Amino acid sequence: MKQLILLIIFLPFSTNGQTWTEDFETPPIHVWVDSNSTDSLWQIGKPNKPYFNSAVSGTKVIITDTINPYPPNSMAVFYAEFELGGYNTYIEWHSKIDTEIGHAGGTIELSFNRGAHWIPIYGGQWFDPFSDTTYNWYDSAFIYSQPYGFDVSNNGPNINDSINGMPSYQGSSQNSFWEFVHIQFHCMAVKSGKSNQNFLLRFTFYSDSIISNRDGWMLDDFYVFNYGGCSGINEITNVISNIYPNPSNEFISIELNNHTYSMNYLSISDVNGREIKRLSNLNNEYEQINISKIPPGLYFINVFNDHGALLGKEKLIIQ
């Protein structure tokens, strides 16, 4: 295996809500390889493999070895660190996979608190921290902002393909285009006097004892976009003024009370953050929804604008 020595210099940086791109044409600032990995597999350079032989842009990528197939019994990690603050915030990148199904693959995890807790990421995921209490979102040592959920494009890891107990990329995209992965954060409300919140993505490649002649995993063109203007939900006008009857088991009426915001869609989510029902093309004043086919339980009504920022949230009890 070709060895690549990465000299990592850790310097404090702040995006201050600005965008940034890592295309690996110059030494990356926001992406680094974990020196504690059991295998020095991740390399930055020009891909020269049977199927992985070009970058999205420029000539360089981050890849599981620029020349050789991935080895058996490997576990290699790299991180991407980014800041978020405001609405319409997101991180995205391009990805290709080429592994033996069931024997090797790649996983992605997200941390809101600099590695104290990790959330497995998968394609089509919709996450609501208000209803999911699995993680400690308010670690005072790190958390300066309140997250209002995120969703992942369908090109994320497959929730039905597990590697090391997590959703993963497996199989081959040899003859296909690059997969475009996008994580949209609905709203990041930064507390007054604090910097934007630092987040981490952890990318891990695993292989078992099966010897393969596959190319592995390759990623390129990381891009982060921030746009200010998002406040805590308690600091802005909640566009939901009334829900009635509540509890209900048939129809509910929702009064919307703010014409300042551009409302895009309304959703009903369960306590695990899964979207149960969505209503688009809101009229900004009043909506009626048939809930008779939704099982009894506690739910949340959420209203979002065109950028995915949360404009209102209220509890709904279905009997």
CATH number at residue 142: 2.60.120.260
Q: Residue 136 pLDDT > 80, yes or no?
A: no
> Looking at residue 4, what is its pLDDT?
36
How far apart (Å, rounded) are the C-alpha atoms in residues 92 and 97? 16
The reply to whether 141 and 276 lie within a common domain is: no
281: pLDDT strictly greater than 50: yes
Instruction: Identify the residue with better confidence: 29 or 238.
Output: 29
Q: Where among 172, 199, 225 does a domain terminate?
A: 225
Mean pLDDT, rounded, for 3-27? 56
Q: For residue 43, is it left (φ>0), alpha (ψ between -120 and 50) or beta?
A: beta
Residue 66 shares a structural domain with residue 154: yes
Identify the pLDDT of residue 258.
60
Q: Looking at the structure, do residues 314 and 191 belong to the same domain, yes or no? A: no
User: How many structural domains compose the chain?
Assistant: 2
Q: What is the pLDDT of residue 145?
A: 43
Name, of 96-110, 177-191, 284-298, the range with top average pLDDT: 96-110
Q: With respect to residue 2, please indicate whether it lies within any of the assigned structural domains.
A: no
Least confident of 99-103, 184-188, 296-300, 301-305: 184-188
Q: What does the mean pLDDT of the chain come to?
A: 79
Structural domain boundaries, residue 254: 240-318
Q: Pick the residue with more confidence: 263 or 204?
A: 204
Residue 24: predicted pLDDT = 96
Is residue 58 in some structural domain?
yes
Q: What is the CATH number of the domain that holds 259?
A: 2.60.40.1930
Quick one: average pLDDT of 23-36? 89
Identify whether 93 is part of a domain.
yes
> Does the pLDDT value for residue 267 go beyond 70?
yes
Give residue 175's pLDDT: 59
- 176 versus 137: the higher-pLDDT residue is 176
> 212 and 101 share a domain?
yes
Instruction: Write down which residue in 225, 250, 265 finishes a domain.
Output: 225
Q: How far apart are CA 28 and CA 277, in angstroms?
A: 41
**Least-confidence region, from 17-21, 134-138, 144-148, 223-227:** 144-148
- Predicted structure pTM score: 0.67
Angstrom distance (rounded) from CA 220 to CA 92: 10
Round to whole Å and give the CA distance between 76 and 35: 9
User: Same domain, yes or no, for 199 and 256?
Assistant: no
Q: Average pLDDT for residues 75-98, to the nearest whole number? A: 86
Tell me the torsion sign for CA atoms 34, 40, 45, 47.
Answer: negative
**Tokens for 8?**
């990592």
Does residue 155 have a pLDDT over 70? yes
My answer on whether 90 and 168 are in the same domain is yes
Better pLDDT: 204 or 151? 204
Structure tokens at 128: 């609501």
| 210 and 284 co-located in one domain | no
Confirm whether 5 is domain-assigned.
Answer: no
Whether residue 166 sits in one domain with residue 110: yes
Q: Give the tokens for residue 214.
A: 């596959």
